[in-house]
Amino acid sequence: MICGYITATTTDLARVAVHDGKPQLVSHKQYSNSEFSNFDSVLGLYLRRTKGERKVACFGVAGPVINNAVTATNIPWKISGSHIAKEYPFQRVNIINDLVATAYGLFQLDDDKIYEINKGKKIKNGNIGLVAAGTGLGEALVFYDGTKYCPYASEGGHVDFSPGSQLETELWEYLYGHQGYVEAEDVISYSGLGKVYEFMLASERATKADWYKKARFKAGKLIEMALAGKDDIAVKTLDMFIDCYASEAANLALKGMTLGGIYLGGGIAPQIITALDKGRFMERFIKKGKMTAHLANIPVGLIIDDKTALLGAASVAVDMATK
């Protein structure tokens, strides 16, 4: 069994073993997508360098999966399950959305891999929501069908960005003036952090800091400076980002009636965990008028295991092999 997790920047591949009924990752390798022209090149290299059977495979990919195929959202790769099965060969190959993979992986995690932001009042077998900000903004929902949890994908990260304050309305106007549209992902992502920073500079009539100009990974440096309190504009940028992230998480919670909880995934949340824990996130999360008391009861957790999506793809592969 083979599993994989493909983002805009990296591809993780592993073979899958089963121990005490749970999937285990074996021969895990991570590749930089910038070094390859397509997914076939990565998979081919991995299969040549690792030995084992090729009965089934499951790959979680950041993008809308249709008919077991996907064109990745933030990288020009087309990945088809039928093509992979024929080319390598496998008996069966499943392509699933990356947030669906994360949802499956959520059920493989120990409690210490979830950091509690809001205890809430979890309803047994209640719907679950996932929001993951990183290179893009992924969203998914999970419902209980009476016997098991069933994750399903959405492209909710591409809905219209909805301002929740006067300053955020000005942010919307700023981005709309540059782009002609504003998606939630335009704000709640690594690139979104940069856009919020640019807006804050314009609002404050300030110039870019030297540390920002010199930084190779600008969003990461921005987070570092904000958490350290070393730059006022960076602090204000991160505050606005957290507000917008919380508001979008609450939107998903209301649309999915996620009485089983909302979970934050992706690369950004673990980096700003100290800021999320200070109360600002939950203060904005519950700020929904008539729904304030309802949202206060929804558990909110932060996923701190960066292999969650890969584990989710592994668990699907195990299920495929037993059917």
The reported pLDDT for the residue numbered 323 is 77
193 shares a domain with 270: yes
Q: What is the pLDDT of residues 40-78, one digit of tens each?
A: 999 999 999 988 777 999 999 988 999 999 998 888 999
Do residues 97 and 130 share a domain? no
Our count of domains for the chain comes to 2
* Residues with Cβ within 8 Å of residue 252, at least 6 apart in sequence: 129, 131, 139, 141, 156, 258, 262
The label of the residue with tokens 């934050």 reads 264
- Do 128 and 175 lie in a common domain? yes
pLDDT at 52: 77
Specify the pLDDT at position 104.
Answer: 96
- E-strand stretches of the chain: 2-6, 10-19, 22-32, 56-61, 65-66, 69-71, 78-80, 92-97, 114-118, 128-133, 137-144, 149-153, 261-265, 300-303
* Contacts for 267 with CB less than 8 Å, ≥ 6 apart: 133, 134, 135, 190, 306
- pTM of the predicted structure, to 2 decimals: 0.92
Q: Are residues 174 and 248 in the same domain?
A: yes
Strands 92-97 and 114-118: unpaired
- Do 34 and 98 belong together in one domain? yes
Give the CA angle between residues 105, 143, 307 to the nearest 5°: 10
- 53 and 161 in a common domain: no
pLDDT tens figures, 216-275:
999 999 999 999 999 999 999 999 999 999 999 999 999 999 999 999 999 999 999 999
CATH number at residue 149: 3.40.367.20
State residue 114's pLDDT score: 95
Confidence of residue 86 (pLDDT cuts 50, 70, 90): very high
Query: Do residues 96 and 311 touch, judged by C-beta distance below 8 A?
Result: no
- Residue 39's CATH number: 3.30.420.40
Closest CA to 314 of 131, 174, 105, 138: 105
Residue 212 and residue 136 share a domain = yes
The domain of 281 spans 110-304
Q: Residue 42 has which token pair?
A: 């990565």
pLDDT in tens, 290-313: 999 999 999 999 999 999 999 999
Tokens found for residue 55: 């009965």
By the 10 Å C-beta count (0-12 exposed, 13-18 middle, 19+ buried), 32 is classed as exposed
The pLDDT confidence band at residue 322, using thresholds 50, 70 and 90, is confident
The answer to whether residues 13 and 58 belong to one domain is: yes
| Same domain, yes or no: 92 and 147 | no
Q: Are residues 265 and 130 in the same domain?
A: yes
Q: pLDDT tens for residues 182-220?
A: 999 999 999 999 999 999 999 999 999 999 999 999 999
Do residue 148 and residue 210 come from a single domain? yes
pLDDT score at 54: 79
Q: pLDDT band for 20, please (50, 70, 90 cuts).
A: confident
Is 146 in the same domain as 237?
yes
According to the model, what pLDDT value does residue 10 have?
A: 93
